[in-house]
Amino acid sequence: MLKGKKCLVTAGPTYEAIDPVRFIGNRSSGKMGIEIAKKLSQEGAEVILVIGPTSQPLSEDICKEIIRVESSEEMYLAVMSHINQVEIGVFSAAVADYKPKLVATEKLKKNENELTIELVKTKDILKEVGLNKKPNQFIVGFALETNNEIDNAISKLNRKNLDMIVLNSLKNEGAGFQHDTNQISILDRENNLINFELKTKTEVAKDIVNYIETKMSRND
């Protein structure tokens, strides 16, 4: 049980504005994070869900508080203003890694044959949270890798100072973005590696939350 434990979950994509009507985004649906927020709540936790643009229904029965954001900067600000109050942070959002350097105030006109948009890195929310982690905080990140999956996930875990990382497999057709199913592996600081089968995102959320619960109870 996670009774009364305060948690923060990020989910969904972020949209990075190009001009007043266009953006750079990705195909994340937010489903995985919603299921995690739901499961944590079912276990008795007080959950804040920070979620980017999604077409998923966001009903009140998901968790205690839902904060809707659009851009990576808005997600960053929402996370930073709540992170000090929580013990568990699960960062499942597909945050854009880059955003346009300048946002046009008027809609861009198609004058030229070619258009170059200069991009700059967004703030790495998870890295900042991990590097400033408090002793009572348990921080979970996600990784999506196409090669050297395990090695890359381990180096991400270390680089961002995480307690655990969920590796999304790209090897299964039913897994990942826009699907109702997902196939994951969990890696932790003690070098444990657990491979799970392809499951519904509801069941995957259960596996992730159960793992967090087990780890937290050992740390208590």
In the complex, which residues of this chain contact ligand CTP (CB under 6 A)? 10, 72, 91, 93, 95, 97, 122-126, 141-144, 156
Which of 44, 156, 45 has its CA nearest to residue 91?
156
- Cα 43 from Cα 83, distance rounded (Å): 20
- The minimum distance between CB 99 and ligand CTP, in angstroms, equals 9
Of the pair 108, 196, the CB lying nearest ligand CTP is at 196
Which distant-in-sequence residues (6+ apart) come within 8 Å of 164 by Cβ? 138, 139, 140, 141, 157, 186, 187, 188, 189, 211, 212, 215
- Cα 141 from Cα 153, distance rounded (Å): 10
DSSP secondary-structure letter at 169?
P
Of the pair 34, 114, the CB lying nearest ligand CTP is at 34
- The minimum distance between CB 202 and ligand CTP, in angstroms, equals 20
Of the pair 74, 108, the CB lying nearest ligand CTP is at 74
Of the pair 65, 124, the CB lying nearest ligand CTP is at 124
- The minimum distance between CB 106 and ligand CTP, in angstroms, equals 28
Nearest-5° Cα angle at 160, 156 to 163: 90
Distances in Å between the Cα of 44 and the Cα atoms of 37, 69, 130, 161, 205 are 11, 25, 24, 26, 15
- The minimum distance between CB 16 and ligand CTP, in angstroms, equals 11
Pairing, β 65-68 against β 46-51: parallel
Sign of the Cα torsion 189, 194, 195, 196 reads negative
Active-site pick, 26, 152, 161, 172: 26
Q: Is 26 among the catalytic positions? A: yes
- The minimum distance between CB 79 and ligand CTP, in angstroms, equals 8
Of the pair 38, 99, the CB lying nearest ligand CTP is at 99
Q: Which positions are annotated as active-site residues? A: 26
